[in-house]
């Protein structure tokens, strides 16, 4: 399977991460946890992350996969 991770890092500390396998945000700091709760309850924001997974990851995976097949 494919996993898409979107990390939000500030001052070299990861505060919040979207993980496509879980399908939601996870907070790692007090501030990150608050944002995660807010963003997880916002279908529009979650939808944007899912769209990123679809458009970017799947598109590029297809390109990479075909490049690998061309070389074999």
Q: Where are the domains of the chain?
A: 5-70
State how far the Cα of 30 lies from the Cα of 61, in Å rounded to an integer: 35
pLDDT of 71 reads: 65
pTM: 0.65
Question: At the topology level of CATH, where does 5-70 sit?
Answer: 3.10.320
Q: What one-character DSSP code corresponds to residue 57?
A: I
Q: What is the pLDDT along the chain (72 residues), one digit of tens a residue?
A: 778 889 999 999 999 999 988 899 999 999 999 999 999 999 999 999 888 877 777 666 676 666 666 765
């Amino acid at each position: 399977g494919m996993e898409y991770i979107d990390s939000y890092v500030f001052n070299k500390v990861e505060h919040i991460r979207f993980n496509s396998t879980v399908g939601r945000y996870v907070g790692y700091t007090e501030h990150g946890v608050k944002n995660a709760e807010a963003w997880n309850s916002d279908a529009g924001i979650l939808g944007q992350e899912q769209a990123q997974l679809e458009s970017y990851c799947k598109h590029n995976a297809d390109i990479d996969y075909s490049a690998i097949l061309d070389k074999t």
